[in-house]
Structure 1
Amino acid sequence: MKLQLFGPLFGCSLLVSISAFYSSSDDVIELNPSNFNREVIQSDSLWLVEFYAPWCGHCQSLTQDWKKAATALKGIVKVGAVDADQHKSLGGQYGVRGFPTIKVFGANKNKPEDYQGGRSSQAIVDGAMNALRALVKERLSGKSGGSGYSRQSDGGGSKNDVVELTDGNFKTMVLESDDVWLVEFFAPWCGHCKNLEPEWAAAASSVKEQTKGKVRLGAVDATVHQEVAGRYGIKGFPTIKVFRKGEEPEDYQGGRTRGDIIERAMDLFSDNAPAPELVEIINEDAVKKTCEDSQLCIIAVLPHILDTGAAGRNGYLDVMMKMADKYKKKMWGWLWTEAGAQMELEAALGIGGFGYPAMAAINTRKMKFALLRGSFSDTGIHEFLRELSVGRGSTATLGGGVMPKVHTVEAWDGKDGQLPEEEDYDLSDVELDDISEKIEL
């Protein structure tokens, strides 16, 4: 019985004595979930961090050398220690599976490196100095650390197009923005987050271009910026949320490939974007500004105002606006002109033979165009544009392979047309007898 009692008592007293590996008088800084981000992640210093367990014999053997190394490196390199047996979440965050594990937190604090050197105080100091020299060399070359979204991606996009969001900038960048945001909350140690990273970066670049920056993709390191992560109840990684101004954020429910992300982003853009502007062709700039950034430019040639009046013309414009809204996700340009106002354009498109109203879709990058063969109506235009959007339909090369000359004309004033005034002739000086004689002759 005494032996049985002695065992547990001895074990308990041993745990008490070895659990306090480091004290405030040591140069080793005790780290825990409460101070780790502040002390290590947000620090500009190089850190060596030991993850230990009080019951681990190798950890006990390392203690004195770890203290000596910390004293030797004081003011040069920070040396810390985490009781990973007590703070399992912190150990798990950095993939700690054995004890002691030593990590080097250098340029990129979110992706520490494993220390591979010896366990004597001299070896630890040498390893720290080598890491310090590498850090200084990296800074001297202009390279920077930061999260995984700070450099170029191997996934076909630029990580610079993924906006790094923090506790400090989240409100102004996201909540007060008129743009739509897709925000990924990630953890650097998360495998699924690493798999998502190239897809997220590629999608960010594509979405930025297609929506002209109206839909943005951002990323929050939830292990660092715990205030904003906590505000939105982030408990797993990666978590993606959709933010629209004045609305509660919603969970992203789509797939995790770049195609899935882009598709959802374009749906969000379409839901929030106004219909594209319908521009009258009054000069060359109107065509250039509308078409240069668009895959297709839809151009209508409407009957002369004397043939339709204002009401008739507005009817045609209403049909165009309805179709522009229906296809606004495509980011096409929409233009119109009056018959006879831009004769070179009509000739290049071969419009004259089909009567008015007429419509053509031009790809200004390829200098190809297609003509509406059906009716100028909701149904006819929809069928025409649907065929083009899926890569079907008959196309031809624009005359000469260049955009035709566009003339500067007066913009329509929205009113009915007026016939030109007839000139009045003064016949008071004309001899009627002379006229009658000429007629007789």
Structure 2
Amino acid sequence: MKPTSEQGDMLRMLGIFSTLLVTASALYSASDDVVDLSQSNFNKEVIQSDELWLVEFYAPWCGHCQNLAPEWKKAASALKGIVKVGAVDADKHQSLGGQYGIQGFPTIKIFGLNKNKPDDYNGARSAQGITDAALNALRSIVRDRLGGKSSSSSGKKSSDSKSGKNDVIALTDDTFDANVIGSSDIWMVEFYAPWCGHCKRLEPEWAEAATEIKEQTGGKVKVAAVDATANQMLASRYGIRGYPTIKIFHKDEDAPIDYDGGRSKSDIVARALELFAENAPAPELLEITNEDVLKKTCDDHQLCIVAVLPHILDTGASGRNDYLDVMKAMGNKYKKKFWGWLWTEAGVQAELEDSLGIGGFGYPAMAAINARKMKYALLKGSFSEQGINEFLRELSVGRGSTSPVKGAAFPKINTVDPWDGKDGQLPVEEDIDLSDVDLDDYDKDEL
């Protein structure tokens, strides 16, 4: 059936929109000399490499990242065959960004001799500045190697086997509960049988993964093994029927989770780092006490969520803490979004409230601000976990109405003392001393 004229126009518009979406999300292509890095290949390409790597963590929507892209490509071409240059879409691979504490975009890190401790690049965002930093880092590596230092890329099988290092924790019927159940750490536990061929093939991958996971998570994700033939109580409790079986234990889960990923070291490490990011602490909730707090938080994040809470005399400390707890819960729920979270008391930052159109809806109020576009959206529903969740979920998928920030810039922010956590105090009124007033001086008829 031939489409109508209106349908044809709609199809053309959809095609243009799809093209724009692809263009916006693809800062780098296969034709560039920039290596596309992700959660699945990062460890193999970067961490296990002996080469120097410059890695940009970016977000496709980030204007600064878009401005950097041509310079990054130019630097990659100039350094081809000398230094590896890569890029991570941290908006897509959020657990990888979380692993390296990425809070703003673009963030550039230099992975040199010690791959587990990359250096931050804070130089000029030009091809010349980037290549100069790369060559300086190369010279530093050469000097260190001449001085006898070796690579700390972690995960080299020969290094582990020579040192006899094994970070896999052996668990038994007697030690399992005391170590694993109720632990604040995440446990990845392999149930194996000594005679099992698949278990023997997994053993070196499991051991090398354990060492790398320990180093990259600071021991917050633990890798363990249980000989299920010698510890049959545990095997029975968890329904182990085949070998090897890997289960993930965490106190927030009622029952262990089955691991069904790949059995290579890189697969195991990737899953561990994903678990680590999922259980990372919630973003900090900051009070707007000066201009720097507001600007840094909003400039460094895709969105900053700002709440204006009622005056302390209206709620008391208990009521205010209830509102702050709601915000903290939402911050934790959306922690992978790299958003900033702020609050202030009604009237303290009156010019900011005016620039965001807050006031007509009463208090508490909330606005989500995109500082790059200087646009905001207001919470129209209830200031509750359900109401805020619906508001943020709409924003997450690109829905919801937005308005420009008044004046297209943040207004003057007052510098104030932070809330002391206490109830408010009414102003003290001066007592009037009537002791010197002689009522006999007044005519009794006037009294």
Q: Which has the higher contact order (CA 8 A, sep 6+)?
A: 2
TM-score bracket relative to the smaller structure: 0.3 to 0.5
Q: Quick check: which has more Rg, 1 or 2?
A: 1
Q: So what's the TM-score if we normalise by structure 2?
A: 0.46
